């Protein structure tokens, strides 16, 4: 049984805990939460504010924290020989982050799986597979309709915002509309807050509409949709049409992906990996013969 610790207990952390509990080859050995102010997890394992305070050393740490604190936590774990899985989602920074963790992991005999969520993550695997089978052409990735976990966090961090929800609406061909619902803190001007939300680089290029809401929590549904579509050329044959669509509970899928990648991490040589570098078979529970007989 692989011993797993989960960092963070927001939507994704809770989902990762549930995915560990549902796995037959893993056991939860603790939850690490930096802030003790958040609601206490209802689990029978230790909850600590530092990985060193858990009863046992985990084999892997699932980092379900905000992206900005992942690098520090990953380095701490990897340096102790603990594998890490994160869903680091700043696409432009992935290569540098990956390269740094690769060096640290190799030095300490551990494995880091980075950018392992839905996108980057599952969608990356599909994009790579699509390009492999139809090398010429254009891939589009479309999100929604559904709640953007990432943009919701960004909006919540804007000064004056008390609570927020950001919905992503797909306009096709990788273009999106964002519908943002906010509650304001007392003393803040709606229009000024809207301007700050629209100026954030996360969404500055998207059509963004901001609405004042009475009760943001009453709007929250963590379902989301993801679509990767490609029209391309295989050899000399044009008009190869490829389409991948998921309509899912977003944090539940993300947590499950991270657990699958933790499993795969134990089967790789030391270093850092993105999901497109992992054989998919390594993400599955069970033995090789059974999997190949059933799946291939």
Residue 226 CB, nearest distance to a copy of itself (Å)? 10
Nearest to 147 by CA among 232, 46, 254, 228: 254
Q: Which helix (H) or strand (E) holds 162?
A: strand 161-172
CB atoms near residue 284 (< 10 Å): 16
CB atoms near residue 214 (< 10 Å): 8
Distance of CA 9 to the CA centre of its chain: 14
Residue 193 CB, nearest distance to a copy of itself (Å)? 33
Query: 214 or 237, CB closer to a copy of itself?
Result: 237
Query: 193 or 248, CB closer to a copy of itself?
Result: 248
Q: Residue 29 in contact with residue 58, Cβ under 8 Å?
A: yes
Query: 141 or 208, CB closer to a copy of itself?
Result: 141
Query: 155 or 260, CB closer to a copy of itself?
Result: 260
Contacts of 281 (CB under 8 A, 6+ apart): 288, 291, 292, 295
Q: How many residues does the chain have?
A: 296
Report the C-alpha gap between 210 and 198 in whole angstroms. 9
Q: State the maximum Cα–Cα separation within the chain, in Å, rounded to a whole number.
A: 64
Residue 116 CB, nearest distance to a copy of itself (Å)? 10
The three-state secondary structure class of 290 is: helix
Residue 269 CB, nearest distance to a copy of itself (Å)? 11
Residue 98 CB, nearest distance to a copy of itself (Å)? 7
Query: 54 or 278, CB closer to a copy of itself?
Result: 278
Residue 44 CB, nearest distance to a copy of itself (Å)? 16
Question: Which spans of this chain sit near a copy of itself (rule: CB under 8 A)?
Answer: 15-16, 18-19, 21-23, 91, 94-95, 98, 115, 120, 122, 124-129, 131-136, 233-237, 239-249, 252-253, 255-257, 260, 274-281, 283-285, 289, 291-293, 295-296
Query: 159 or 294, CB closer to a copy of itself?
Result: 294
Residue 174 CB, nearest distance to a copy of itself (Å)? 14
Report the C-alpha gap between 174 and 229 in whole angstroms. 10
Query: 76 or 128, CB closer to a copy of itself?
Result: 128
Q: Which helix (H) or strand (E) holds 282?
A: none
């Amino acid at each position: 049984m692989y011993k797993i610790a989960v960092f963070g207990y927001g939507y994704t952390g809770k989902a990762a805990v549930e995915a560990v509990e549902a796995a037959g080859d893993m056991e939860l050995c603790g939850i690490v939460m930096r802030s003790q102010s958040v609601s206490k997890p209802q689990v029978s394992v230790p909850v600590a504010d530092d990985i060193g305070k858990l009863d046992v050393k985990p084999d892997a740490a699932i980092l379900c924290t905000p992206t900005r604190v992942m690098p520090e936590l990953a380095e701490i774990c990897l340096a102790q020989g603990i594998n890490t899985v994160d869903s680091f989602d700043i696409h432009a920074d992935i290569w540098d982050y990956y390269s740094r963790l690769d060096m640290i992991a190799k030095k300490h005999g551990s494995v880091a799986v980075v950018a392992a969520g839905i996108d980057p993550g599952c969608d990356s695997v599909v994009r790579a597979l699509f390009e492999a089978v139809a090398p010429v052409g254009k891939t589009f990735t479309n999100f929604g309709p559904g709640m953007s976990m990432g943009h919701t966090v960004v909006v919540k961090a804007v000064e004056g915002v008390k609570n927020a929800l950001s919905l992503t609406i797909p306009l096709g061909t990788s273009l999106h509309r964002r519908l943002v619902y906010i509650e304001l803190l007392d003393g803040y001007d709606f229009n000024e807050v809207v301007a700050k939300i629209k100026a954030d680089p996360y969404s500055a290029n998207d059509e963004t509409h901001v609405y004042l809401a009475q009760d943001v929590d009453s709007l929250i549904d963590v379902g989301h949709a993801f679509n990767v579509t490609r029209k391309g050329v295989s050899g000399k044959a044009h008009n190869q049409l490829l389409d991948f669509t998921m309509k899912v509970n977003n944090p539940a899928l993300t947590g499950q992906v991270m657990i699958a990648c933790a499993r795969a991490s134990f089967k790789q040589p030391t270093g850092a990996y993105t999901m497109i570098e992992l054989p998919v078979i390594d993400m599955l529970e069970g033995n090789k013969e059974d999997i190949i007989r059933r799946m291939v």
